[in-house]
Amino acid sequence: MEFSATQIAQLLDGIIEGDASVTVSGLSKIEEGKTGALSFLSNPKYESYIYQTASSICIVDHTFQPSKPLPSTLTLIKVKDSYACFAKLLQLYQASMRKAPGIEQPCFIDPSAKIGKDVFIGAFVYIGASAVIGDGTCIYPNTSIGQNSKVGAQTTIYSGVQIYDNMQIGANCIIHAGVIIGSDGFGFAPNEQGVFDKVPQIGNVIIEDNVEIGANTTIDRATMGSTRIKTGVKIDNLCQIAHNVEIGEHSALAAQVGIAGSAKLGKHVMVGGQTGISGHLHIADGTKIVAQSGIPSSVKQAETLMGTPAIPMNDFKRSHIGFRKLPEMMRELSALRKEINELKAKKS
């Protein structure tokens, strides 16, 4: 499909500088632009590319003023926030690529399952008894949805996702390939012989609306009650969310984060990659945790934490400066000790 600069500007409430009739049929990074492509410039360090790009249209901030001549073939669309506007276009493009409604064969859908309108179900999908699939949802091949599980409207579930029995997934969610929702929490109790007996995990997982879960992430069912991922949460690839964890609204977790059982994260919490969070603690709304940190205890007020065990980031930086000076300090200490010993020897 082709779109003109006029159509794009109307969609983004932007101002055109250049040929309003020029059309584009694809998207491209500004440094790889080509004729018929739409690009954007948000980061100033990429500005040099706009003076040589072959893209036909570029979205820029309304404050952008070129420091040298632009290509004669380039039309600008000035908007309030170029990055946000380009993201909006990407969302619209992705929506246009959604699978057409239909049910591929072979697949198994239990007769008691309820399937909404305009749903796509790929080949080799399993949908169990009394499951409910909302309107407009896309379920890609080789996915399993257990009995009594519910999936909200306009949700996308990619290939190979495993959703156990009795799970609840909201509307407008995106669940990437290989995600497992509802596997048993890591619950074991040692008996008198020191052998670990399994503690049955009988709860479920509740994922609210507008959540995105990255590939190969696992979210464990609660021992009792629910593991809960609240509205707007974004979880990266390869994360581990343990039983009875709660993640507050609009929080974000980068790749390889691990959260132990019954930890409670507040709203708008940001967690860097490879961070470990201990169980049975609370993290305050708005907390930011730098990558590879370890959180062993509750965080009572919002701050930026770093290190293991994590401390306020500025304290960590000062401590790290001291740590880097340790070899020098040890050499000085050794030299002082030698001088003291020599002085003692002269007195004796």
pLDDT the model gives residue 23: 96
Q: Is residue 87 located within the same domain as residue 106?
A: no
* Domain endpoint, select from 81, 96, 111: 96
Q: Is residue 231 located within the same domain as residue 257?
A: yes
Q: Is residue 55 located within the same domain as residue 200?
A: no
Exposure string of 49-62, with b = 16+ CB inside 10 Å and e = fewer, is: bbeebbbbbbbbbe
With tokens 């440094």, the residue in question is 31
How many Cα neighbours within 13 Å face the side chain of 90? 11
Q: Is residue 89 located within the same domain as residue 115?
A: no
* Domain endpoint, select from 47, 75, 96: 96
- 240: tokens are 């581990």
Q: What pTM was computed for the model?
A: 0.84
How many Cα neighbours within 13 Å face the side chain of 326? 6
Q: Is residue 195 located within the same domain as residue 257?
A: yes
- 58: tokens are 């570029």
- 330: tokens are 């040890």
Q: Taking each helix axis from N to C terminus, what angle separates 326-347 and 313-324, rounded to the nearest 10 degrees? A: 50
Of the candidates 263, 256, 288, 299, the residue with the CA atom closest to the CA atom of residue 278: 263
pLDDT the model gives residue 132: 98
Helix ranges, the chain (H): 5-12, 47-50, 82-96, 313-324, 326-347
pLDDT the model gives residue 347: 79
Answer for the pair 133, 151: CB distance below 8 angstroms, yes or no.
yes
Q: Is residue 21 located within the same domain as residue 72?
A: yes
- 288: tokens are 């930011």
Quick one: which H or E segment has residue 59?
strand 57-61
Q: Is residue 83 located within the same domain as residue 203?
A: no
Catalytic residue chosen out of the listed positions 176, 243, 250, 282: 243
Q: Is residue 132 located within the same domain as residue 169?
A: yes
- Which CATH number fits the domain that encloses residue 280? 2.160.10.10
Q: Is residue 237 located within the same domain as residue 329?
A: no
* Domain endpoint, select from 96, 123, 146: 96
- The answer to whether 268 is a known catalytic residue is no
pLDDT the model gives residue 319: 87
Domain of 26, in residue numbers: 3-96
pLDDT the model gives residue 220: 98
Q: Is residue 233 located within the same domain as residue 91?
A: no
Q: Is residue 81 located within the same domain as residue 148?
A: no
Tens digit of each residue's pLDDT, the chain (348 residues): 789 999 999 999 999 999 999 999 989 999 999 999 999 999 999 999 999 999 999 999 999 999 999 999 999 999 999 999 999 988 888 777 788 999 999 999 999 999 999 999 999 999 999 999 999 999 999 999 999 999 999 999 999 999 999 999 999 999 999 999 999 999 999 999 999 999 999 999 999 999 999 999 999 999 999 999 999 999 999 999 999 999 999 999 999 999 999 999 999 999 999 999 999 999 999 999 999 999 999 999 999 999 999 999 999 988 888 888 888 888 999 999 988 888 888 876
